[in-house]
Amino acid sequence: MTQKNDTTTLILALLITGGLISGGIWWFTRNMNLSTVLNSNPSPSSSIPPKPAPIPPTSVPQTST
């Protein structure tokens, strides 16, 4: 093979590879909706579940005198 044919094949392979990578990134960002994921700032209180309310005692402890 001559040098010219190798260069053409190499450039064509690089263009195809770049197109496949770019297309994959484009498809992935459209499916994942990364713009909404990156722009949302969840507040810390929304990610932590609320504490349960304390249960009052039902009987008074007996003391000995």
Residue 40: predicted pLDDT: 61
Residue 46: predicted pLDDT: 56
Sign of CA dihedral 55, 59, 61, 65: positive
pLDDT tens digits for range 1-52: 556 678 889 999 999 999 999 999 999 888 876 556 566 655 555 567 778 8
Q: Give the Cα separation of 32 and 28 in Å (integer).
A: 6
Residue 15: predicted pLDDT: 98
Residue 1: predicted pLDDT: 53
Q: Give the Cα separation of 27 and 34 in Å (integer).
A: 11
Q: What is the pTM of this model?
A: 0.44
Q: Which residues of 27-62 are buried (b: 16+ CB within 10 A; e: fewer)?
A: eeeeeeeeeeeeeeeeeeeeeeeeeeeeeeeeeeee
Max mean pLDDT among 26-30, 53-57, 59-63 falls in: 26-30
